[in-house]
Amino acid sequence: MTCKILIVYHSQSGNTQKMAQKAAQGAQSIGNVQVFLKRAPEATLEDLLLCHGLVIASPEYFGYMAGLVKDFFDRTYHEARGKKEIFKKPYAVLISAGNDGTGALNHIERICLGYQFKKILAPVVAKGVVDREVLAQCEELGKTIAAGCREGIY
Ligand SMILES: Cc1cc2nc3c(=O)[nH]c(=O)nc-3n(C[C@H](O)[C@H](O)[C@H](O)COP(=O)(O)O)c2cc1C
């Protein structure tokens, strides 16, 4: 069975997009894995139900996640919650921030608790420039969640 990894992101100036793309590249490098890299407005409830693992990637705006990432949660929460496909779904978070990132991260993690997703990796929180080191961490995160989901270890 092919393992499906969904990466939902928003990005205005490209930083979070670069991080999400690297995570996608990492996940795609694992055999038998199909990656769905989607901008938040295009991501659907069906995507969420069908994936085996989920990465949420958001910039921090005003101490919070991007509005369009919140909109993805708003659109899917009611229908998704309580479904067996959602329970303990493995997830990880990528944040791009100017100098902080904790507000966006905390709010995303709190919402993910509500869905009853399972946090399986430490987040990558980039402060300022998204450099090679950050991108390597994103790639590693993508590889790890994909390999773990494929092997069913979460
Ligand atoms: C409207 C707006 C609000 C922002 N608020 C914060 C903030 O509260 N904390 C922070 O660390 N950075 C803040 N930033 C900086 C962004 O998080 C940072 O530039 C990030 O890399 C943008 O990601 P993107 O290129 O994917 O859009 C803000 C930027 C914008 C445009």
Task: Please state, in angstroms and rounded to a whole number, the distance separating the CA atoms of residues 18 and 77.
Answer: 27
- Quickly state the pLDDT bin for 64 (edges 50, 70, 90): very high
Contact 142, 25 (CB under 8 A): yes
List pLDDT tens digits, range 39-61. Answer: 999 999 999 999 999 999 999 99
Task: Please state, in angstroms and rounded to a whole number, the distance separating the CA atoms of residues 144 and 27.
Answer: 7
What's the confidence (pLDDT) of residue 31?
95
Adjacent-strand bridge partners of 126: 96
**How many Å lie between the centroid of ligand 1 and the Cα of residue 59?**
6
Q: Give Cβ neighbours of residue 96 (< 8 Å, ≥ 6 apart).
A: 11, 15, 16, 19, 57, 58, 59, 60, 126, 130
Atom of ligand 1 nearest to the CA of 128: 21
The model's pTM: 0.98
Write down the mean pLDDT value for the chain. 97
List pLDDT tens digits, range 113-154. Answer: 999 999 999 999 999 999 999 999 999 999 999 999 999 999
Q: How many domains, the chain?
A: 1
For ligand 1, mutation pick of 19, 61, 64, 129 (most atoms within 8 Å of CB):
61
CB contact burial 23-40 (16+ within 10 A = b; e otherwise): bbbbbbebeebebbbbeb
Residue 51 has, within 13 A of its CA and on its CB side, a CA count of 28
Give me the domain span that covers residue 83.
3-151
Atom of ligand 1 nearest to the CA of 16: 26
What's the confidence (pLDDT) of residue 137?
98
List pLDDT tens digits, range 86-114. Answer: 999 999 999 999 999 999 999 999 999 99
Task: Please state, in angstroms and rounded to a whole number, the distance separating the CA atoms of residues 31 and 80.
Answer: 28
Q: Residue 90 is part of a domain; what is its CATH number?
A: 3.40.50.360
**How many Å lie between the centroid of ligand 1 and the Cα of residue 64?**
9
User: Taking CB atoms and a 6 Å cutoff, what residues make up the pocket around ligand 1?
Assistant: 11-17, 59-63, 96-101
